[in-house]
Amino acid sequence: MELKKNTEWTLHITGVTQDGNGVGRADDTVVFTPGCVRGDVARIKIVGVRARYAFGKLLQVEQPSPARIPVDCPTFFQCGGCVFRHIQYAEELRIKEERVGDALRRIAKLDIVPEPIVGCEQTLGYRNKAQFPVGWQEGRPVFGFYAPRSHRIVPAENCLLQPPVFQQVLDAFGRWMLENDVSAYDEQTGKGLLRHVFLRQAPATGELMICVVANGGAGSLPNKKQLIQYCRQAAPQTRSIVLNRNTARTNVILGARCETLWGDDHITDILCGLRFSLSPLSFYQVNSRQAERLYHMAAEFADLRSTDVLLDLYCGVGTIGLSMARQVGRLIGVEVVADAVTDAKYNAAQNSITNAVFYCADAGEAAARLQKEGLVPDVVVVDPPRKGLDVAAIDAIARMSPSRLVYISCNPETLVRDLALFAERGYQCTRVRPFDLFPRTAHVETVVLMSRNI
């Protein structure tokens, strides 16, 4: 039978992609089919054909894989947040570990085997932060997540990745919107008030921050006191209610201006034995307990000594560097977000860490400037965004000639690209360990040690 659209095939699923699509072959053509598990025998329908591959739709699992499990979320196939809810967690870890190893071999051409992936002890309710787009559907306010490759909101009540209190707060927002006829922002017209509800909870202290992302200032919120009352009743652990003003015609979630509506302008969490102050715009790992394990591994890789100068690029609120500060002689942190730098300085002070300084600057520009000023760090730690490092930052780091470089990555593909560039500048990758900070999703973190060739 010829492989063409709308034909049906029975496939043996031999693998799963990083996005959770099963991989099989029909007429010697690779077919990607969502909802399949390695080891399945599945009846599928071809829904798209390209020159070298095709896409399928799962019709029936004729013989389930031993790694298949029942789906426990009613919106799993719609919201796009999770991709592995139909797969045993051990198999998910295997897929993520293979992704890192394959990227090292195939892209970076490195002959190094990753150490076993560090799985997460908690696969439910582990997120300390969530950002919910807001809309109206069938006469009711809805909060959820965007469907894959779209900005269509899929309502997602009681998301299994979030703590239950998040849903309680969303219910309070829904009640307030209904009673006050609050409009939701429309990206097409730029009209409407409420854009997102951004929630952050500190797992160690229980403190909750509620951030209202609005297309206007605090004066634009109807019956603001009622909203505050409803939120506090729904979540007595609320410590901070903040308005973030975002009037830009953009899909960027947060604007640059925040105004405290009630309580404090921050919440406090405890990580690696240290207290950290978190404001709305500060980056903070969404899985706090697993982040602790990752940071301990990063410190082990760094092999820190009491005389070391440690440079922490993309330092955020200072979590990584401050967790290592008492093991080194001097810590220098660099972060481009001004609010995060303010938090980092405060965090150093409240933890009585006196050997740390923080600068607000682009990582690459700061590294180049520090290098020109003669800074010679013994260890550099980088934790860049998904796009990885730019060449200017890599050049500046290499010119400083640190003996050890620890790279924490949330994207294996950009990581291995950067490892190849560091190799050209005299740095050898000696240890690699994946970490699962985001169970049931496609994401995987990796911590890498590079050493300067002597």
**How would you classify the pairing of strands 356-360 and 330-335?**
parallel
Q: Long-range contact list for 7-12, CB < 8 A, 24+ apart?
A: 7/45, 7/46, 8/43, 8/44, 8/45, 8/46, 8/59, 9/43, 9/44, 9/46, 9/56, 10/41, 10/42, 10/43, 10/44, 10/62, 11/36, 11/41, 11/42, 11/44, 11/56, 12/40, 12/41
Is residue 384 within 8 Å of residue 363, measured between CB atoms?
Answer: yes
How far from chain centre, in Å, is Cα 145?
15
List 73, 315, 410, 429, catalytic entry: 410
CA distance 347 to 284: 13
Is residue 37 within 8 Å of residue 13, measured between CB atoms?
Answer: yes
Q: How many CB atoms lie within 10 A of CB 280?
A: 21
Query: Quick one: DSSP state of residue 191?
Result: B
**Strand order in 208-214's β-sheet?**
153-155, 140-146, 129-137, 194-201, 208-214, 238-245, 257-263
Residues 6+ apart with CB under 8 A from 9: 1, 3, 26, 27, 31, 43, 44, 46, 56
User: Active site includes 82?
Assistant: no
Query: Quick one: DSSP state of residue 326?
Result: G
Distances (CA, A) of 431 to 105, 232, 328: 14, 47, 21
Is residue 45 within 8 Å of residue 31, measured between CB atoms?
Answer: no
Active-site amino acid positions: 410
